[in-house]
Amino acid sequence: MTALLDIKDLRSYYGQVQALHGIEFHLKEGSMTALLGTNGAGKTTTIRAICNMVRSTGTIQFEGKPLMGKSTESIVRLGIAHVPQGRGTFTTLTVEENLQLGAITRKDTKVIASDIEKMYSYFPKLKERHTQQAGTLSGGEQQMLAVARALMLRPRLMLLDEPSFGLAPLIVRDLFGIIGKINREDKVSILVVEQNAQLALEIADQAYVIETGRIVMSGSASDIVNNEDIQKSYLGH
């Protein structure tokens, strides 16, 4: 198995404050990997660092190509879609325009329309509202829109930042169901950051645990679920 994403000795800084202290992990092609940890552990920082949205040092390789020093937009153009925390909706644009923006860098303009239809089949709610301003959608719908917008890139890798944040449990189930399906059927590798460890471990095959800017544990999702420390600190058993 080749590593799609390979991260070594990643250190990130917010001003003078160091948030990551040498993170190392890799992500296999086609896998669904979860990045777990408490509030403030550095999960979000890690995936923001992948897209060069925080000042960092170390090496990050995507399909063997170094990402460090590339601009956010050129990293995205390599096929890395990032669903940011807070969803990053273009609130004043329509739902459909949001989806078109997801594909704005693609050259194959002819199939974009059919991809939009495909997103509507994943998320029928979005179709109902496709001419509405995206800011009028509910939180759950905006999260679906954010995922759909990311998929419009036809990414190799999708980075999901706390997709469950602020959503009702039922909606979260739905959303994670679809994310799992995208991973299996569309062969999109996924790195998901979650505070809700239980949920993430249900659909992930690999998992890493971050504490205060360091990876403290890694393994297959089933190993992590059964680990006693994890059960105590993250799963509440």
Q: Which residues bind another protein (CB under 8 A)?
A: 14-15, 17, 19, 39-45, 51, 53, 71-74, 76-77, 81-82, 84-85, 88-93, 97, 100-102, 104-105, 109, 149, 153, 162, 165, 195
Q: How far is the CB of 106 from another protein (least distance, A)?
A: 9
When the beta carbons of 51 and 215 are compared against another protein, the nearer one is 51
Q: How far is the CB of 6 from another protein (least distance, A)?
A: 22
Q: How far is the CB of 130 from another protein (least distance, A)?
A: 15
* Cβ count within 10 A of residue 90: 15
DSSP H or E stretch at residue 25: strand 17-28
When the beta carbons of 43 and 129 are compared against another protein, the nearer one is 43
Q: How far is the CB of 83 from another protein (least distance, A)?
A: 8
Three-state DSSP class for 182? helix
Main-chain phi, psi angles of 27, to 5 degrees: -135, 125
When the beta carbons of 136 and 220 are compared against another protein, the nearer one is 136
Three-state DSSP class for 38? coil
Name residue 212's amino acid: T
Helix axes 169-185, 112-122, angle to 10 degrees: 140
Q: How far is the CB of 9 from another protein (least distance, A)?
A: 19
When the beta carbons of 28 and 154 are compared against another protein, the nearer one is 154
When the beta carbons of 122 and 165 are compared against another protein, the nearer one is 165
The CA distance from 157 to 178, in Å, is 16
Q: Concatenate the DSSP letters of all residues of 143-167 into one string.
A: HHHHHHHHHTT--SEEEEE-TTTT-
When the beta carbons of 93 and 235 are compared against another protein, the nearer one is 93
The CA distance from 120 to 115, in Å, is 9
Q: How far is the CB of 35 from another protein (least distance, A)?
A: 12
The CA distance from 95 to 62, in Å, is 30
